[in-house]
Chains A and B, each alone.
Chain A
């Protein structure tokens, strides 16, 4: 199980009748990486995964796995294996026969395939349940069996469709760690579809954020967190406040914009034409409740909500054209100088805490 394949998606589209689920996306997933497709429901992430798996036909474009173009291959010929959202274990077969299913389809004789399946169950520490039916297992155990069944085909890439969504929160975190460990030890490419930012951040070497059938950003989690590419990414990941306005001045590596309510803000970035629409993102955890050193690095707003979260406090502020400008402060800072709903507060941040957000060419 050492081989791992690079997955190359070349201007792939998926059209269902008159609606386009995936708009000509291109992406290279490096071999042996853990890639998470992230996005709201209906963004095309599952369709993309199913096209890689071969369970959905590709309307146009090509998918390459390693050196082979697999666009027209049936699922089993692609060297991929899929783990389904509800695990799709065969209810009428015991665990050994579930895991051995693909070997049976290949015509491998009974003793050999059962021995191999048992080895796979041992790898997943499920051998004690080998003769049970899936209905008698917990969610986490079912997931391990589903993994064993997918991995017995010795795939180059494992495709996981929301694998953790059926588990309770506590188990979710444990199985997440198991998935990461498994991927590291097998060294094969994992492609994982999820709608949870936290899950993607925790697992991925590469996060692909999709919206409305297009890729908004595909990068390492750190890059996605620190430099969200678009306003959508910044909003979806939830760690940045997005302010929208028009450029009034730019030059010397800085851009100044004016929001609809009249405040002006400065952000580092290349020169823009005056009047161009522009979005900036401001890190929620870097905003301070203090008078800004420069007027373009802060504004005055009104507190609309305060949420205590233990180690941190989330303060929501209305102002500068945003009605949910979020400030995350430490509990120590908050209780030193508490604010209440309805208070007018000054907000400030440093130049390095704001990023210029791009826009997708439509």
Chain B
């Protein structure tokens, strides 16, 4: 009996000031959600938004050989966009991007297709997929540099071909050429194409392929009408990876072309080494806009939402 009375008592008390308790509860809930969102906001703010904002600000500053002077000048942009060197460099970078994209897509799709449809056991699929990632256990630079002894004037390929008597003198364009740049970039970036495509291919319901076969489709028709359309989101994600990586690359271009070719990022690096930070910043802003519009164009063509 006593217990029941006590219980009633607390209930009455709680009912007596419902407004206050509800308000405290609401405030606590709001505070909790801000606290939960806080760390990520801080990290993104400090390490992502702030640097980009600083680049944007610095791109309007003035500079000379000795220092940077806060100002609001459009000179850096007019210099960048008005120079034929910039346009040529962009064209060159785009050329690399298109070639590397095409090759990584071709190679990446077939590797992913083979893994997803021709390897029967999941264990073997995982083993082979991990084999694809083995090169990534070493750094980008090392993988790139290791091409030099292979492609060099007296490198592996040339010596072998000469000793086999196929060519009389070394092939000059193997190293320090566009060929070498594209080769190294394809080597570095194909896995970024394989992974998302493999992922989408694995999600294709196998009964769809049977249904296509039931409808009389042959292997190529199934590939063209069913598999490729359903792999589009993966292709788009892989494309975004490869395009952004190649557009922003400077080390591969510098090392593999032997300094004979330029890319936008390499141009920026050179400007920075000459302490022309505002010019490099303006260049960076332009590149950022170009790459972002490329990405948004890709997203406009393919809906990747269901893959995320």
Contact = CB atoms under 8 A, between A and B. Distances in A.
A208 B248 CA distance: 66
Interface stretch (B64-72, B131-139, B222-230): B222-230
Given A91-B230, A101-B225, A55 B213 contact: yes
B210 A88 contact: yes
B205 A88 contact: yes
A76 interface: yes
B230 A86 contact: no
Contacts of A90: 208, 211-212, 226
B214 A105 contact: no
A92 B224 CA distance: 12
Interface in B214-238: 214-218, 221, 225-226, 229-230, 232
A153 interface: yes
Interface in A236-277: none
Interface centre among B211, B213, B214, B225 (most CB of A within 10 A): B214
B210 A84 contact: yes
Contacts of A77: 216
Contact of B207 (A75, A76, A86, A101): A86
A81 interface: yes
Nearest to A74: B213
A55 B215 contact: no
Interface in B172-223: 205, 207-208, 210-218, 221
Contacts, number: 62
Of the four ranges (under 10, 10 to 19, 20 to 34, 35 or more), the interface on chain B belongs to: 10 to 19
Nearest to A97: B225
A93 B210 CA distance: 16
Contact of B213 (A76, A85, A86, A93): A76
A88 B217 contact: no
Interface in A114-163: 149-150, 153
A76 B208 contact: no
Contacts of B225: 101, 104-105
Nearest to B213: A75
A320 interface: no
A332 B289 CA distance: 83
Contacts of B210: 55, 75, 82, 84, 88
Given A85-B207, A86-B207, A92-B232, 20 more contacts: A53-B214, A55-B214, A76-B213, A76-B215, A76-B217, A81-B214, A86-B205, A88-B210, A90-B211, A90-B226, A93-B229, A101-B212, A101-B225, A102-B215, A102-B216, A105-B215, A105-B216, A105-B218, A149-B211, A150-B214
5 contacts: A76-B216, A88-B208, A90-B208, A92-B230, A106-B216
Interface of B: 205, 207-208, 210-218, 221, 225-226, 229-230, 232
Interface of A: 53, 55, 74-77, 81-82, 84-86, 88-93, 101-102, 104-106, 149-150, 153
